[in-house]
Amino acid sequence: MTTTTTTDLWYTDRSRYKLGTSRCARARYLAYHFGPTGYGITAKRESLPLATGISVHQGLQAFTSHLASFDALPVRVDVRAVIHDVCQAYVDRVEARGYRGILGGPDTEETITEQALLISGLLWALYLKFLPWLHRNYQVLSVESERLHPLDADKALMLRTDLLAKRRGGSSLAYFECKTTGWESDAWAEQWETDPQLALGTLDCQELYGGEVSELFVVGLNKGRRMKERDDPEGRKKQLSPLCYGYRRPANPPLGHDDWLPAYEWVNSDGELKRASRAHRRTGIWELEHSDWPTWRAYQGANPGLGASEFWMEMLPASVVDRICFILGPMNRQDVQLQSLLRNIEGEEDRWQRRLWALYESQQHFPWSSPQFQAELDRLIPCSWACRPFGREHQCEFVPICHRYQGWDDPLQNGYQPRLPHHDPELQQAITRGLLPENAEALEDDE
């Protein structure tokens, strides 16, 4: 009997399955299977990187790892250090792409500051709102763990568990996934109730942790929409989040100091609807550092090390915070649908193996850009042509290839590069096979 090694295994994950079945099979092919390595390609980032869920997960992992190790909330000084490091990692990524050099523009520094402040604010929201609730009700067992779930003898599903915890005073387990979104709505929230893919992270938990996962939660973080202000259509796009911008009435010395409000409209602790005056204008929270607002100066004087983002999160009313950080659940694990989903995935991967083998044989006779190969590609892996489900700004990264812009026939010489696998088993497989590409990027999953 032969044993299948990790080098021989066919790996899949939730992201590529969902991309191929829910959005576009051609997008999955290009993102995960095309190119010189066989691990897909990704567009070279030609715009300034924005905050993504990756940064938030880095901070959440640090916070919850502390809970798992000490069963206690991290202290403020440690939280500040974590948030500083995560924000610095974002800035380093920006600099590595040249946006503090030749690629920088007149609004570059302000956008970098804005996005770093967004990351900081989201992490403070998690620390101040989510973590105390989590610690009060649950004991953290596992954070960002990665493992394989066999589908059959030669296929494995790569799993990454965001957060697994045990309810205090009980034996049941709860599974949490953190999702960032810029389009928070009832429809966005309601999708998780009928999505069995959420429960994929709970597979094998009974065997690993000796308990049944009976609760599923989504921890939602609303980044706000990125758009131009209505009264400034020619200006730069802004992250319209209360974490990045407040409403300031400028000082009028010696008659008055700066005055800051959390939003244009909000509900106070007494349930009263409040609005900013016409004199209050949207202003970046980073401007607090230079403000003479008495409330800010008093807090800053009493709390050495207090930054603008931390202070602002403390000042935001509950009605505003509740729209930034919210918990969906508990939802039940749909076991019948989950088992059906696993069979769906196994069958889908069988079909992909056959399609890719047929394309490999076709490419022995016809090059990628030939009419013969493209016709075979159309038959086996069709485009959905749902290229702009969220508008032009968020269109599929493969539009230039599928719509045959100039250079489509040689993607690696025209804006694309090999993808770096972001699951460790697949990454190690690529290294073992000698296919690890240089200067490549992992896909950035921005929920």
Residue 2 has a pLDDT of: 39
Residue 101 has a pLDDT of: 63
Closest listed residue to residue 176, CA positions, set 125, 130, 119, 222: 130
- The rounded distance, in Å, linking the Cα atoms of 282 and 245 is 6
Residue 447 has a pLDDT of: 43
> What averages of pLDDT result for each successive group of 10 residues across the chain (447 residues)?
64 96 97 94 80 89 97 97 96 83 72 95 97 98 92 94 93 94 83 90 89 93 88 80 96 89 89 91 94 95 93 94 95 93 97 97 96 98 94 90 97 93 89 71 53
Q: What amino acid occupies position 311?
A: F
Residue 327 has a pLDDT of: 96
**Which residues lie below 8 Å from residue 421, measured CB to CB, with a gap of 6+?**
39, 427, 429, 430, 442
Residue 440 has a pLDDT of: 59
Q: DSSP letters along 404-444, please? A: T-TTTT-GGGTTEEEBPP-SHHHHHHHHHTT-PPTT-B---
Residue 69 has a pLDDT of: 97
Residue 311 has a pLDDT of: 97
For residue 163, list its beta bridge partners. 143, 176
Q: 6: which 2 tokens? A: 């990790």
**Which residues lie below 8 Å from residue 310, measured CB to CB, with a gap of 6+?**
80, 120, 124
Residue with tokens 């045959």: 404
- The rounded distance, in Å, linking the Cα atoms of 52 and 49 is 9
Full-model pTM: 0.91
- The rounded distance, in Å, linking the Cα atoms of 2 and 155 is 15
Residue 249 has a pLDDT of: 95
Q: What amino acid occupies position 346?
A: E
For residue 283, list its beta bridge partners. 246
Residue 337 has a pLDDT of: 95
